[in-house]
Chains A and B, each alone.
Chain A
Amino acid sequence: NAGVTQTPKFRVLKTGQSMTLLCAQDMNHEYMYWYRQDPGMGLRLIHYSVGEGTTAKGEVPDGYNVSRLKKQNFLLGLESAAPSQTSVYFCASRTSYNEQFFGPGTRLTVL
């Protein structure tokens, strides 16, 4: 039981490049979330999904897109990366008791 996994763990992009972060969970959770964490800040919600095929915006959605084609996977896309998107990205899935379990994070640097 791997829990929540994220791919890749590290990535460096140039401004304007695109990339996709992959989150996978093997706990059969309906709800999944993408957050970003910046220095001196807690986590801020980017987008979330309440089930396969459904997504919704969180607190800081601009510049990101998401897709949930399969229940176990939640993808976060950056179409045209900007230096302001340099951050650590966390994916999480949620139990029926409202406990969120997090992946190990992806450190993204945009030059």
Chain B
Amino acid sequence: AQTVTQSQPEMSVQEAETVTLSCTYDTSENNYYLFWYKQPPSRQMILVIRQEAYKQQNATENRFSVNFQKAAKSFSLKISDSQLGDTAMYFCATALYSGAGSYQLTFGKGTKLSVIP
């Protein structure tokens, strides 16, 4: 079974500062995808950023960027210029091929991020 580990259950950051959330995973596959999802108090799951494992270049999406270290099986999320609206649970997930064209997501347990004014 795939495992995704988020070692920081809770984190906090001052508004406008930068914070990095950690994620490690375990797979023997070579072709897979990695994601960060955000879940604010509204409960909605929102896709933050996506990375294909075959791409060496780290994905960026406005204030969000990743540090993808394939050999170390590490996929951290950096949030720059933190805003109050970034307060949420953040989930790291891997998508592995499961046959019939389908990829299954495996989620970590999440990191609760609080942005402090």
Residues of B within 8 A of A (CB): 1, 4, 33, 35, 42-47, 50, 91, 93, 95, 100-105, 107-110
Q: State how many angstroms separate the Cβ of B35 from the closest Cβ of chain A.
A: 7
CB contacts (< 8 Å) of B93 on chain A: these are 42
The chain B residue sitting closest to A9, CB to CB, is: B43
Q: Within the assembled complex, what's the spacing in Å between the Cα atoms of A100 and B100? A: 17
Top 9 A-B residue pairs of the complex, sorted by shortest distance between their CB atoms: A42-B107, A102-B45, A50-B100, A98-B33, A43-B107, A50-B102, A105-B43, A98-B103, A42-B109
Q: State how many angstroms separate the Cβ of B77 from the closest Cβ of chain A.
A: 15
CB pair A104–B43 under 8 Å, yes or no, is yes
The chain A residue sitting closest to B44, CB to CB, is: A104
CB contacts (< 8 Å) of B110 on chain A: these are 42
CB contacts (< 8 Å) of B46 on chain A: these are 102
Residues of A within 8 A of B (CB): 30-31, 33, 40-45, 48, 50, 54, 56, 58-59, 88, 90, 92, 94, 97-102, 104-105
Q: Within the assembled complex, what's the spacing in Å between the Cα atoms of A102 and B107? A: 14
Q: Within the assembled complex, what's the spacing in Å between the Cα atoms of A40 and B93? A: 15
Q: State how many angstroms separate the Cβ of A39 from the closest Cβ of chain B.
A: 10
Q: Which of B91, B101, B103 contacts A42 (CB 8 A)?
A: B91
CB pair B47–A48 under 8 Å, yes or no, is no
28 pairs of residues in contact across A and B, judged by CB atoms under 8 Å: A30-B101, A31-B101, A41-B109, A43-B45, A43-B91, A43-B105, A45-B105, A48-B102, A48-B104, A50-B100, A56-B100, A56-B102, A59-B1, A90-B45, A98-B33, A98-B50, A98-B95, A98-B103, A99-B47, A99-B50, A100-B35, A102-B44, A102-B45, A104-B42, A104-B44, A105-B43, A105-B44, A105-B45
